[in-house]
Amino acid sequence: MAGAFITFEGIDGSGKSTQLRMLASVLRLGGFETVVTREPGGTPLGKRLRTALLDAQAEVDPLAELLLYAADRAQHVRTLLRPALETSHIVLSDRYADATVAYQGAGRGFTPELIAEVVELATGGLKPDLTLIFDVSVAECLMRTKRREANDQSKDRLDGEDVDFYARVRDRYLEIAAAEPERVRVVDASGSVEETHTKVIEIVLPFLEARGIVGQPSEQNAPPTGTQPQKTPVN
Ligand code: TYD
């Protein structure tokens, strides 16, 4: 496939969604055909699954949860990701299969064998070309999440998980990175939004260049002088 599939991962409150938006705006200004999507919820069916999965009032059985993320992913791969990659787009996805390995595997305790089977079934073997794992301490992430909840009253089901759960998820993400250094890069996300953004750019632009993917800047999408990437609050 001529496109590039880049996924953003990390525990809740790591700031990955903010970084994804900032990278997308830089790529678009540079004339790269960029698609932004997420899991769960990248498709119309996925949006409905997302609402069900993240409902703070709902009790979702762990096996049902695993299969719902897989259903969301199967729909995402077949109706959005593959078509976009086949038409040479750069696809930025806020979470993908590594989230299942980390959250349902390490977090909920399903065996690596079962997780691998479910992931293979849902993805049909589609792997990201590059994965950025935004790494921050669990304490910092919990603080950021609490601040967000206080600001916009938003709370989803997983916001209720405890420190141990997130510590297991974070450790599994770091294990994934250690096992697949070619695909996965860990980004220290403990600094400011701008500092992390610089780190992302330093990884992604050389990666695209190495794959021979170049932007097509036009006058229309050239940034006015002095314009900075849009600042958005930490996710
Ligand atoms: P996310 O979209 O990152 O949440 P937000 O935008 O509110 O920060 O992810 C939603 C939640 O779904 C997150 O807590 C992790 C969870 N999740 C899994 O447990 N397994 C998965 O396979 C995926 C894709 C997400």
Return the HEC string of the chain. CCCEEEEEECCCCCCHHHHHHHHHHHHHHCCCCEEEEECCCCCHHHHHHHHHHHCCCCCCCHHHHHHHHHHHHHHHHHHHHHHHHHCCCEEEEECCHHHHHHHHHHHCCCCHHHHHHHHHHHHCCCCCCEEEEEECCHHHHHHHHHHHHHHHCCCCHHHHCCHHHHHHHHHHHHHHHHHCCCCEEEEECCCCHHHHHHHHHHHHHHHHHHCCCCCCCCCCCCCCCCCCCCCCCCC
Write down the pLDDT at residue 144: 87
Across all residues in the chain, what is the average pLDDT?
Answer: 90
Higher pLDDT, 233 or 112: 112
The residue whose CB lies within 8 Å of the most ligand 1 atoms, and thus the one to mutate among 47, 54, 94, is 54
The share of the chain scoring above pLDDT 90, in percent, equals 77
| Span 151-178, average pLDDT | 85
CATH architecture of the domain 4-210 equals 3-Layer(aba) Sandwich (3.40)
pLDDT of residue 97: 98
Task: Return the ligand 1 atom nearest residue 97 CA.
Answer: 22
Q: Is the pLDDT of residue 146 over 70?
A: yes
Cα-to-centroid distance, 98 and ligand 1 (Å): 11
Residue identifier of the C-alpha nearest atom 8 of ligand 1? 12
Q: Whose CA is nearest to atom 22 of ligand 1?
A: 100
Task: Give the per-residue pLDDT at 133.
Answer: 98
Banded model confidence at residue 92, pLDDT cuts 50, 70, 90: very high
The pLDDT score that the predictor gives to residue 120 is 98
CA of 225 to the centre of ligand 1 (A): 37
Task: Provide mean pLDDT across the span 185-203.
Answer: 97
The pLDDT, as a whole number, for residue 130 is 98
Asked if the model's pLDDT at residue 229 lies above 50, the reply is no
- Best residue among 103, 120, 132, 157 to mutate for probing ligand 1, ranked by most atoms within 8 Å of CB: 103
* Ligand 1 cavity residues, CB under 6 Å: 12, 17, 38-40, 69, 94-95, 99-100, 103-104, 156, 158, 235
Residue nearest to atom 5 of ligand 1 (CA): 12
pTM (whole model) above 0.85: yes
Segment 2-38, tens digit of pLDDT:
799 999 999 998 999 999 999 999 999 999 999 999 9
For ligand 1, pick from 158, 176, 235 the residue to mutate: most ligand atoms within 8 Å of CB.
158
* pLDDT, position 149: 79
